[in-house]
Chain A
Amino acid sequence: MERLIIVVAVLPLISALFIQLFAGHFGRAIARLSVAMTTLSFLLSGLLLALAITGSETLVISLGSSSTVLLFDPLSTLLATIILGISLIVHLYSVRYMAEEAGYGQFFVLLDMMTAALLFMVIAGDLITLVISWYLVGVVLYFLLGQDTRSQTAYRFAFWTLITYRLGDLPLILAAALLFNAYDTWSLTIIFNEVMANPNAHQVLGLPLTDVVAALIGLAAFARSAQFLLHTWLPYTMDGPTPVSALMHAGIVNAGGFLINRFAPLFIHSSEVLHWIFIVGLITAIFGSLLMLTQNDIKKALGYSTMGQMGFMIMECGIGAFSLAIYHMFAHGVFKGTMFLSAGGVINHAREDDGIPKDELYTFAVEKRPNQARYPWLLMAAVTLLVPLVILVFAHLLVSEDYFQKQGAIVLLFFGWVTGAQLIFATYKMRSQNVWRLVGLSILSLLIVVLGYVFISHVFDQFLYPDAAFQAQLYSAANIDALSFDVLVVIITLIIVSGWGITYFSEQHGHRRAQKSKRLWLNFYALISREFYISDVYTRLSRTLLTMSSRLNVWLRWL
């Protein structure tokens, strides 16, 4: 089995090397080799995953006498399979999609190198391998995004990505150095065992080492997963080839969630850091969704949608739902990868039919269709608020009776509630001739999604963290004191209920905004459309630094 794990990781590297050496001889047919190697690697990783599911023990594989260690555990096998699955789809798509592009062979070399770097990142059992692969993901991504070497824009935004990723590398390197100094080993397994045995054994600058390292790991994850203030690169990297966008949004950007999961034994002892992670994730989810809604460019909107999803994933870690973050990563990866790879098809379809719903006045006056029925707003508001709540509570109770003892579960419930309510409201707004049929279908789909989500995330929980005590520790580390939590629950419930009430009421009675609030909304829209001026601030700061560099060179006579 040890050999099998090494083979899975090394196959993409062999493929990259072979293509680099023989691309000239085989021409474009060389892509088939890359696809074949990825397929083989994927099948083998599937086999490893099956072994892990059937209860194989965690394996630590040392490579020779070096400190390089590979880890075979549920997290690494699951993620290796996901990475290889997504990579295989991207490979297959690229064979034809990239056929007319220059540097065809080079593209597959980079794609294989990226797959290898991601694989080594998830199976790394020591800090050096982890740091190296983490670093290399950023470097290879830079060149993948800059596949079109004629495009200055592609390189400009590839540079933004690289610099943000490099910023994220630094805290990880610091964390690795601190852990090595404290425990005198690079092995993650040994470090985690020692942390679990004695979490407060070491201090840094008067602070517990676990807190400092957890904060640094959090920062590294923020940069990689485009969290607020470190997100500006994500929506702008659309000049890269579509398969790269798919790979990036479906796989690479999720690395933050993986990193936090990998260091779960440290986070158990760092409650404060988990709370900060939750706040950053929440802010990112809100800002990402807000910015997504205001975009008129489909790819940029997808970029901001990913940002929102990443915020949600990081937030899940912040409430102790670590395995849920991994499931979210998987589900979002499949969903977003599909969207990117079908973006071309959507554009083609849009050329034939713009898909914009017709104005109500138009359908009444021109198409002579009767006005749609309106149901009492209070009834619809009640349905919107109660039905999702009932479905969510029912689904969670089916999984585990003590589920509502976990604060994190209740936080997630709120999000599920708001999302479900949004779905029913959107259906209501459609004003179909048969509203109840549409609402019924929405509720049915919500029921399927919620049940699926709850059951699958429960399975992920059992697979990734089979130790119930450890799982409970993760949730309790994220807890805040009961009174504050209950007060927050009541306040947020009131806000949600009154928010939906007002929404339905104003929807029913028409929008009559005062001139003053209209201006306020316009200003707010302007602020969002400029993306809160964050990129502008960064650009200004970069220019200031470059001007300083230039002046220094002039003053020091270029010596």
Chain B
Amino acid sequence: MSDLLTILLVGIFLPLFPMSMVFNAVLENIKPNGLRVILFILWPLIGLLIALNSDFSIPDWLLPLALSTSLLYAIRMLTLREVNQWSGFLATSIWGLLWLPILQGSSAELLYSFAIGMSVPLVLLVLLAAGLERRFGAAYTGLYGGLARTIPRYAWVLVTVVVAAIATPLFPTFFFMLDMVVETISSTPSAALVLLLIWLFWSWAGTRLIQGLIVGRASNSKIADMDMTSVSFYSIVLIALMVAGIYLAGAIL
């Protein structure tokens, strides 16, 4: 019974459906961006902290549930148009997969590195969404579009961050996914196939998000583009993420 309760508790932070809905409900009700950033960083870390410090046996149904949760949110992301909500669903889909290295007995250090490496692009996306809300009143795809012409620097950063978030080489999530496929292919080939499917849906959802925001004619009204200091900040974080990805690859592959 206590095992089940622990799993239910951890399942809130390392999302397992239906507990996964808690994170998205919390995200929807938190408006200050600072709190959102903290939420994105701390949420999976809390889950890992509890999971790694609790003594509980893992049932057989956990792996299918974790994969199904991740797949469910990957599919649901396809039709989301609000950027914050999209980030929340992607986070739910990604963090749910952290159960896999836990099941394989990966080291705590590696698990925390994975969690942070996968959350940082989402944090950047939340910050960018806030910038869009300031400029346009909403961070919504298909509403205004044409960012590539209206605010090209902002669009460039936004595209790169989305690309980083959806597990594109050389960012940490890519190496995490590659490692998970390698680890599961022999023992549970079906899990490897589901992982690849989830990965495909992330790419699909990511391109829909990009297209809904950057494609289209330039806006007539004058809107301030991102200043060079912010561009430098985002660029440095993205480069650091790539370096971290390569470092992680060296450690796991």
In whole Å, how far is B214's beta carbon from the nearest beta carbon of chain A? 6
Q: Number of A-B pairs whose CB atoms are under 8 Å?
A: 111
In the complex, A548 has a CB within 8 A of chain B: yes
In the complex, B78 has a CB within 8 A of chain A: yes
> Are A174 and B185 in contact, CB atoms less than 8 angstroms apart?
yes
In the complex, B211 has a CB within 8 A of chain A: yes
Which chain A residues numbered 127 to 160 have a C-beta less than 8 Å away from chain B? 128, 131-132, 135-136, 139, 142-143, 146, 149-152, 155-156, 159
In angstroms, Cα B146 to Cα A473, docked, is 56
- Which of B25, B149, B199, B250 touches A149 (beta carbons < 8 Å)? B149
In the complex, A431 has a CB within 8 A of chain B: no
Q: What is the 8 Å Cβ interface bit string for chain B, positions 205-216, against chain A (1 contact, 0 not)?
A: 001100100111
In the complex, A366 has a CB within 8 A of chain B: no
In angstroms, Cα B156 to Cα A549, docked, is 28
Which chain B residues numbered 69 to 105 have a C-beta less than 8 Å away from chain A? 72, 75-80, 85
In whole Å, how far is A132's beta carbon from the nearest beta carbon of chain B? 4
Q: A546-B78, A548-B75, A549-B78 are in contact. Are A152 and B163 (CB under 8 A)?
A: no
In angstroms, Cα B174 to Cα A143, docked, is 19
Q: Which secondary structure dominates chain B's binding surface?
A: helix
> Are B75 and A549 in contact, CB atoms less than 8 angstroms apart?
yes
> Are A205 and B249 in contact, CB atoms less than 8 angstroms apart?
no
Please name all residues of chain B whose beta carbon is closer than 8 Å to the beta carbon of A53 when the two chains form the complex.
none
Which chain A residues numbered 113 to 133 have a C-beta less than 8 Å away from chain B? 128, 131-132
**Residue of chain A at shortest CB distance from B253:** A128
In the complex, B34 has a CB within 8 A of chain A: no
> Are A135 and B146 in contact, CB atoms less than 8 angstroms apart?
no
> Are B211 and A159 in contact, CB atoms less than 8 angstroms apart?
yes
In the complex, A356 has a CB within 8 A of chain B: no
Q: A139-B163, A149-B148, A178-B185 are in contact. Are A549 and B76 (CB under 8 A)?
A: yes
In the complex, B28 has a CB within 8 A of chain A: yes
In the complex, A553 has a CB within 8 A of chain B: yes
In the complex, A443 has a CB within 8 A of chain B: no
Q: A177-B182, A546-B78, A558-B85 are in contact. Are A149 and B253 (CB under 8 A)?
A: no
In the complex, B64 has a CB within 8 A of chain A: no
In the complex, B173 has a CB within 8 A of chain A: no
- Which of A152, A163, A186 touches B215 (beta carbons < 8 Å)? A152
- Which of A131, A150, A174 touches B196 (beta carbons < 8 Å)? A174
Please name all residues of chain A whose beta carbon is closer than 8 Å to the beta carbon of B196 when the two chains form the complex.
170, 173-174
**Residue of chain B at shortest CB distance from A173:** B181
> Are A136 and B169 in contact, CB atoms less than 8 angstroms apart?
yes
In the complex, B244 has a CB within 8 A of chain A: no
> Are A146 and B215 in contact, CB atoms less than 8 angstroms apart?
yes
Please name all residues of chain B whose beta carbon is closer than 8 Å to the beta carbon of A136 when the two chains form the complex.
168-169
In the complex, A379 has a CB within 8 A of chain B: no
> Are B79 and A553 in contact, CB atoms less than 8 angstroms apart?
yes
Please name all residues of chain A whose beta carbon is closer than 8 Å to the beta carbon of B250 when the two chains form the complex.
66-67
In the complex, A552 has a CB within 8 A of chain B: yes
In angstroms, Cα B171 to Cα A136, docked, is 12
In the complex, B135 has a CB within 8 A of chain A: no
Please name all residues of chain A whose beta carbon is closer than 8 Å to the beta carbon of B78 when the two chains form the complex.
545-546, 549
Please name all residues of chain A whose beta carbon is closer than 8 Å to the beta carbon of B214 when the two chains form the complex.
149
In the complex, B116 has a CB within 8 A of chain A: no
In angstroms, Cα B214 to Cα A106, docked, is 15
Which chain B residues numbered 106 to 164 have a C-beta less than 8 Å away from chain A? 146, 148-149, 152, 155-156, 159, 163
Q: A166-B200, A174-B196, A549-B75 are in contact. Are A556 and B21 (CB under 8 A)?
A: yes
Which chain B residues numbered 204 to 253 have a C-beta less than 8 Å away from chain A? 204, 207-208, 211, 214-218, 249-250, 253
In this complex, how many residues of chain A approach chain B with their Cβ under 8 Å: the count is 46
Please name all residues of chain B whose beta carbon is closer than 8 Å to the beta carbon of A545 when the two chains form the complex.
75, 78
> Are A132 and B170 in contact, CB atoms less than 8 angstroms apart?
yes
Q: A170-B196, A549-B75, A559-B24 are in contact. Are A162 and B185 (CB under 8 A)?
A: no
In whole Å, how far is A200's beta carbon from the nearest beta carbon of chain B? 18
In angstroms, Cα B72 to Cα A142, docked, is 26
Which chain A residues numbered 394 to 408 have a C-beta less than 8 Å away from chain B? none
- Which of B79, B85, B178 touches A550 (beta carbons < 8 Å)? B79
In the complex, A61 has a CB within 8 A of chain B: no
In whole Å, how far is A552's beta carbon from the nearest beta carbon of chain B? 5
Q: A132-B169, A546-B79 are in contact. Are A180 and B182 (CB under 8 A)?
A: yes
> Are B249 and A181 in contact, CB atoms less than 8 angstroms apart?
no
In angstroms, Cα B182 to Cα A159, docked, is 28
Q: A131-B178, A163-B203 are in contact. Are A151 and B215 (CB under 8 A)?
A: yes
> Are B253 and A186 in contact, CB atoms less than 8 angstroms apart?
yes
Please name all residues of chain B whose beta carbon is closer than 8 Å to the beta carbon of A173 when the two chains form the complex.
178, 181, 196
> Are A162 and B75 in contact, CB atoms less than 8 angstroms apart?
no
Q: What is the 8 Å Cβ interface bit string for chain A, positions 59-77, against chain B (1 contact, 0 not)?
A: 0000000110000000000
In angstroms, Cα B78 to Cα A552, docked, is 11
Q: A142-B207, A150-B217, A174-B181 are in contact. Are A552 and B149 (CB under 8 A)?
A: no
Please name all residues of chain B whose beta carbon is closer than 8 Å to the beta carbon of A139 when the two chains form the complex.
163, 168
Most chain-B CB neighbours within 10 Å: which of A103, A151, A155, A162?
Answer: A155
Please name all residues of chain A whose beta carbon is closer than 8 Å to the beta carbon of B53 when the two chains form the complex.
none
> Are B169 and A559 in contact, CB atoms less than 8 angstroms apart?
no
Please name all residues of chain A whose beta carbon is closer than 8 Å to the beta carbon of B77 when the two chains form the complex.
549
Please name all residues of chain B whose beta carbon is closer than 8 Å to the beta carbon of A95 when the two chains form the complex.
none
> Are B211 and A559 in contact, CB atoms less than 8 angstroms apart?
no
Please name all residues of chain B whose beta carbon is closer than 8 Å to the beta carbon of A135 when the two chains form the complex.
168-169, 174
Please name all residues of chain A whose beta carbon is closer than 8 Å to the beta carbon of B148 when the two chains form the complex.
103, 149
In angstroms, Cα B186 to Cα A180, docked, is 10
In the complex, B192 has a CB within 8 A of chain A: yes
Please name all residues of chain B whose beta carbon is closer than 8 Å to the beta carbon of A102 when the two chains form the complex.
149
- Which of B152, B217, B218, B249 touches A128 (beta carbons < 8 Å)? B249
> Are A552 and B169 in contact, CB atoms less than 8 angstroms apart?
no
**Residue of chain A at shortest CB distance from B25:** A559
Which chain A residues numbered 523 to 549 have a C-beta less than 8 Å away from chain B? 545-546, 548-549
Please name all residues of chain B whose beta carbon is closer than 8 Å to the beta carbon of A186 when the two chains form the complex.
253
Known: A135-B174, A150-B149, A178-B185. 11 other contacts (CB 8 A): A67-B250, A106-B156, A128-B249, A131-B178, A135-B169, A146-B215, A151-B215, A159-B211, A174-B192, A546-B79, A558-B24
The 10 A-B pairs of least Cβ separation, nearest first, read A149-B148, A559-B21, A132-B169, A177-B185, A549-B78, A549-B79, A550-B79, A177-B182, A559-B24, A170-B196
B residues within 8 Å of A by Cβ? Answer: 21, 24-25, 28, 72, 75-80, 85, 146, 148-149, 152, 155-156, 159, 163, 168-170, 174, 178, 181-182, 185-186, 189, 192-193, 196, 199-200, 203-204, 207-208, 211, 214-218, 249-250, 253
